[in-house]
């Protein structure tokens, strides 16, 4: 499944190729609370069809109405992008469903050949991070190599945005837990790859939208070269497979590397990686094991939810100190279980 940015770009390029006039809308700035963050994309074509989102729906409705009344062709009659601001007054905030004090500033850009969206889409698909600079006076676009995550910058002359590869999840092991994990990752817009060299495990494992590899885990990791938009999760419980993936993943740019297992097995794993494979402490400190956040999970689906929540938190830049990991949560739960619970001052 594509992430939303890629879907917007691909759909817009398709509309443009079909000869439809299209307006690309970018959330440039927000003040206070807002439904969608800066950098969010949406496109509207001449038929009033849309893809993407810049709010909870009310702003989209207003934009569609504006374009229907004036016509996309009229909006695209000039090559210069325009700026719209919603939510300046309390009445507008209420009308457009914005939280109290919320303001959203949008850039409406008539799509043309010089928008260079096909090139930008190709860069995303090839996992290349790109800085896109839009000239607010002419509509001309400059593309250059850049970081994936950056806050858009808007001034009188330029809008600068940052786009790049969708988040990717590499799962080691084909099983029930990995199926639930992959389903969640797909729904969150991740590209998902499952690796399992064991034919008997792969034989009955399939999921639409997931690439299944029979490579050895270390060969796959070396071939894919995990970047800063990649997470790796080992789920086989077999050191001969999990450790192979972890050794190389922990020395890559992956934003998250985790493995399931008990707290005891996780410590044994760290010791193996330290003594037998000479991994540095800095690399071992990046290992999430046991993987996941503590939610007292029992079933494969709940464990997958726990792991996916930690992966998303890491992707969004939440520091581990702000999360309760499985090992910590279980320790706290065990301490609590050894003492009588207290409710309203009474032992229960």
pLDDT of residue 340: 38
The pTM for the full model equals 0.74
Question: Domain residues for 217?
Answer: 168-332
pLDDT of residue 67: 72
Taking residues 11-31, report their average pLDDT. Answer: 93
Q: What is the dihedral of CA 179, 183, 189, 195, to 10 degrees?
A: 10
Question: Which residues, in sequence order, are CB contacts of 65 under 8 Å at separation 6+?
Answer: none
Q: Are residues 8 and 140 in the same domain?
A: yes
Rounded to the nearest integer, the mean pLDDT of the chain is: 85
Distances (CA, A) of 258 to 148, 169, 268, 322: 22, 11, 14, 17
Sheet hosting strand 210-213, strand order edge to edge: 210-213, 191-195, 168-172, 230-234, 256-259, 287-288
Q: Are residues 125 and 177 in the same domain?
A: no
What is the DSSP secondary structure assignment for residue 130, as one 8-state letter?
A: E
Q: Which residues pair with 43 in a beta bridge?
A: 24, 51
Q: Are residues 270 and 303 in the same domain?
A: yes
Residue 344: Cβ within 10 Å count? 5
pLDDT tens for each residue of 65-94: 777 776 655 555 567 899 988 875 556 655
Q: Are residues 55 and 130 in the same domain?
A: yes
346 belongs to a structural domain: no
User: Last residue of some domain: 163, 184, 200?
Assistant: 163
345 belongs to a structural domain: no
DSSP, collapsed to helix, strand or coil, labels residue 267 as helix
Q: Report the domain count for the chain.
A: 2
Task: Give me the residue label for tokens 């001969």.
Answer: 240
Q: Is the pLDDT of residue 333 over 60?
A: no
Band (pLDDT 50/70/90 cuts) for residue 230 is: very high
Which residue, 115, 52, 59, is CA-closest to 84?
59
Q: Max alpha carbon distance in the chain (Å)?
A: 74
Q: Which residues pair with 232 in a beta bridge?
A: 170, 257
Query: Are the C-beta atoms of residues 96 and 87 closer than 8 Å to each other?
Result: yes
Q: Is the pLDDT of residue 283 over 80?
A: yes
Band (pLDDT 50/70/90 cuts) for residue 23 is: very high
Q: Are residues 284 and 136 in the same domain?
A: no
Q: Are residues 213 and 134 in the same domain?
A: no
221 belongs to a structural domain: yes
Q: Are residues 196 and 232 in the same domain?
A: yes
Q: Is the pLDDT of residue 38 over 60?
A: yes
Residue 86: Cβ within 10 Å count? 24
Band (pLDDT 50/70/90 cuts) for residue 61 is: confident
Taking residues 162-176, report their average pLDDT. Answer: 92
pLDDT of residue 127: 87
344 belongs to a structural domain: no
DSSP, collapsed to helix, strand or coil, labels residue 59 as helix
């Amino acid at each position: 499944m594509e992430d939303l940015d890629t879907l917007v770009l691909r759909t817009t390029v398709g509309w443009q190729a079909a000869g439809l006039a299209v307006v690309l809308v970018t959330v440039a700035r927000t003040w206070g609370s807002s439904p969608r963050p800066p950098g969010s994309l949406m496109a509207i074509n001449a038929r009033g069809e849309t893809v993407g989102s810049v709010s909870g729906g009310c702003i989209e409705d207003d934009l569609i109405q504006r374009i229907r009344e004036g016509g996309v062709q009229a909006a695209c009659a000039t090559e210069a992008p325009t700026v719209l601001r919603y939510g300046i007054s309390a009445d507008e905030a209420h009308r457009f469903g914005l939280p109290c004090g919320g303001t959203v500033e949008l850039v409406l850009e008539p799509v043309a050949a010089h928008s260079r969206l096909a090139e930008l889409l190709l860069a995303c698909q090839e996992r290349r991070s790109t800085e896109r600079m839009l000239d607010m006076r002419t509509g001309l676009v400059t593309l250059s190599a850049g970081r994936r995550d950056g806050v858009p910058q808007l001034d009188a002359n330029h809008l600068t945005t940052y786009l790049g590869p969708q988040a990717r999840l590499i799962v080691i092991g084909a099983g029930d837990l990995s199926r639930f994990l992959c389903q969640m990752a797909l729904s969150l817009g991740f590209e998902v790859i499952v690796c399992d060299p064991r034919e008997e495990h792969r034989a009955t494992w399939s999921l639409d939208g997931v690439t299944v590899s029979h490579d050895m885990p270390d060969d796959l990791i070396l071939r894919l070269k995990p970047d800063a938009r990649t997470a790796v999760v080992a789920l086989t419980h077999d050191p001969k497979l999990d450790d192979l993936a972890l050794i190389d993943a922990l020395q890559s740019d992956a934003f998250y590397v985790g493995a399931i297992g008990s707290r005891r097995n996780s410590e044994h794993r760290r010791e193996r990686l330290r003594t037998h494979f000479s991994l540095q402490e800095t690399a071992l400190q990046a290992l999430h094991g046991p993987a996941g956040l503590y939610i007292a999970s029992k079933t494969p689906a709940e464990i997958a939810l726990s792991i996916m929540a930690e992966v998303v938190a890491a992707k969004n830049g939440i520091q581990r100190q702000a999360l309760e990991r499985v090992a910590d949560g279980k320790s706290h739960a065990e301490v609590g279980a050894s003492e009588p619970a207290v409710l309203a001052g009474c032992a229960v």
